[in-house]
Amino acid sequence: MSSYPDLSCAIDISEDYLRDNQSYITGGIFMASKKSIGKIKERGNQVLFNLMLNNQIVNNEQIVLGYLIKKDPEMFFFFRNYIYLHRDHRVLIYLSK
């Protein structure tokens, strides 16, 4: 996220971002309930089909997720990824509550 502070710190993001190649999110653990994953899949498909493919935009899933994070931030919980958190499973314990 530090590579693109203008994107990561933005409150909102325009549809122009769907044509961009600057992914401000990083990979890592993606955890959620089955219901939450379904909601993200549904919203992702809406963005993919309605905003991207219907407008002849082809891009990757990181751009779709970056767009959704700004448009529907209530669907996501963010934490900073540090190696020591995974070794003693504190992140997994916290997220499983």
Read off the pLDDT of residues 10-53 as tens digits, 9 standing for 90 and up: 999 999 999 999 988 876 667 777 888 899 999 999 999 999 99
Residue 55: its pLDDT value, please? Answer: 95
Tell me the pTM.
0.76
Q: Are 3 and 24 in contact, with CB atoms under 8 Å apart?
A: yes
